[in-house]
Copies of this chain bind each other. A is one copy, B any other.
């Protein structure tokens, strides 16, 4: 009936824990979360969370997975509204850097998670890389990109993007006062420079 008076069983503790953990990491950083605090927040005893996550790391892996999914969603969303391949590539770069700037703790967690879910991240990453390489080969066939090793070109632009994102997350002195709009422009400028250099545009 009204208000759903708390029953002995929570109902969906796992999702609740995951959700508040996600939000807490995003707003306070990964080191701000504790199993006991999460349990308190969910109105449940300190031992309950361990019924759903073998240990803290498993929880963090799950949060990382969720964050990675969110990142990927944003990337897809960004490329969806672009027609030609080059603008897609640019949009992806911008979205990637923007995500890092807006959710540094989540971005950090994604990349510091090297246990089980690393496999998941690897697959996602591979997918993205394949897309990128396909695009580069397409460009090479059209004579727009020099005949360097596509893998290497992909790796380079990936490193550029990731590096920019990381410099922002790591509060690089020159970037620490950057707004996300400035980050957008910076990402655009950098990729443009790289593309100009390589001959992409």
Contacts and interface: CB of A to CB of B under 8 A. Distances in A.
B167 A162 contact: yes
A159 B152 contact: no
Chain A, interface SS category: helix
Q: Which of A161, A190, A199: most chain B CB closer than 10 A?
A: A190
B153 A164 contact: no
Copy number of this protein in the oligomer?
A: 2
A6 to B, nearest CB: 36
A137 B170 CA distance: 27
A196 B196 CA distance: 11
Interface of A: 108, 111-112, 114, 118, 121-122, 125-126, 129, 148, 152-153, 155-156, 158-167, 170-174, 186, 189-190, 193-194, 196-199
